[in-house]
Chain A
Amino acid sequence: MNFKKQFMEGLLTKNPVTVQLLGMCSTLAITTSLFNGIGMGLAVTIILTCSNVLISALRKVIPNQIRIAAYITIIAGFVTVVDLLLKAYIPALSESLGVFIPLIVVNCIVLGRAEAFASKNGVLASAVDGICQGIGYTVALVIVCVIRELLGSGTFGGGLLGEGGAGIRIIPEQFPAMQIVMPVGGFLVLGFVLAGSQALMKRMNNKSKKKEGAK
């Protein structure tokens, strides 16, 4: 097990959003304020880690032929638990994320990691994978959120900071491009974030190649 490698994979080189392009539905839909991004990221991280651990623990018990059905049942169970807990104890977040919490069931990141990682690796490695992939998802969401909120509403920290959760105003009210908050802006911003992460990875690759060449 290599924690550092798994962490880098989750954060950048195999980031669920920018490289694996999983969970696009939630990434495009809820990334309009910082509060949403952090909340959704945390919820997915918790569910992903729990389901990864349980699926990894049961990987030798679950027959191969019915594994997808078994995984989905386990994931749906965890999602419903989180949904009920949020509704009861953090109603503000539950209202803000709305239908996207139940939709984590079909968020391909969770099933994707169950199939690609947890079903083939030990419990501890799967837990680390869940946390790392969850962090990667959260970071990607937060980046998209901050850009969309800044350009679309002209604020930072919506839902968390400022009077009544309006966020801290950075761009005067008449300037922000409202379309950035709409779906089309989601696609645009996501595209630029993907390009940015690709460029970053390319630079890192070139650097490590140069280092090898110098040796």
Chain B
Amino acid sequence: MKQNESIVMYVLRLAGTLFLITAVVAALLACVNAVTAPVIEELNAAKTQEAISAVLPGGFDTEITDFADETGIVSKVYQGANGYAVEVGPGGFDNTITMMVGVDNEGKVLGISIVSHTETAGLGAVAAAGTPKGIAFRDQFVGMGAENDILVEKDGGKVDAITGATITSRAICVGVNAALDCVAGLG
């Protein structure tokens, strides 16, 4: 407290300074947000679009909103001439994996692509990587159908899990199963 400064002035001076600083920072953030928000939104939209066209040749025409889903992890279903693209969010190693599963009109997997995830770098993250190992992992789901549950080899299935990332591999199997069941429910 400065000399001859009343308690009211003292509090006002402190609060006023802090208010000024926060106001300036908030104004700066508003400016940066105004510039970057459209770019980020465009990127996200492009990413979803890309994920859909990666698993569903020909893209989609309509989004189906009234789908039946017992698992509770299906978030969006898109329909196109060649089948469906289903967005599912199974629980991964430490967070939800958002992935797109393409299913053809016969109920077989056309392909999967991972939109976003927080799996361990070098282990679970391999599932989403553009590396030969990652591509091989995702490609093995192609052609699988809903007649049998899709499981990793450890659980008696056919999916070759990523070394050291059984939980991530299992989560992706869960996602693919949910997508297939959901499309089967659509008829």
Contact = CB atoms under 8 A, between A and B. Distances in A.
Interface of A: 30, 32-33, 36, 58, 61-63, 65-66, 69-70, 73-74, 76-77, 80-81, 84-85, 87-89, 91, 95-96, 98-99, 149, 152-153, 158, 162-166, 178, 181-182
Contacts of A163: 131-132
A84 B130 CA distance: 25
A69 B123 contact: no
Contacts of A69: 18
A73 B27 CA distance: 13
Interface of B: 13-14, 17-18, 21-22, 25, 28-29, 32-33, 35-36, 39-40, 43, 116, 118, 120-123, 129-135, 163-164
Contacts of B18: 66, 69-70, 73
B40 A88 contact: yes
Contact of A165 (B22, B25, B36, B130): B130
A87 B17 contact: no
A165 B122 CA distance: 11
A61 B16 CA distance: 12
A73 B22 contact: yes
Contact of A98 (B13, B118, B135, B164): B118
Given A63-B14, A65-B14, A165 B32 contact: no
A153 B123 CA distance: 9
Contacts of A74: 21, 25
B122 A181 contact: yes
18 contacts: A32-B121, A33-B121, A66-B17, A74-B21, A74-B25, A81-B29, A85-B32, A85-B36, A88-B40, A88-B43, A95-B116, A99-B118, A149-B122, A153-B122, A163-B132, A164-B134, A181-B122, A182-B120
A28 to B, nearest CB: 13
Nearest to A91: B43
Contacts of A63: 13-14, 17
A165 B126 CA distance: 11
A36 B121 CA distance: 10
A81 B32 contact: yes
B21 A73 contact: yes
Given A84-B33, A178-B164, A61 B17 contact: yes
A202 B80 CA distance: 68
B3 to A, nearest CB: 15
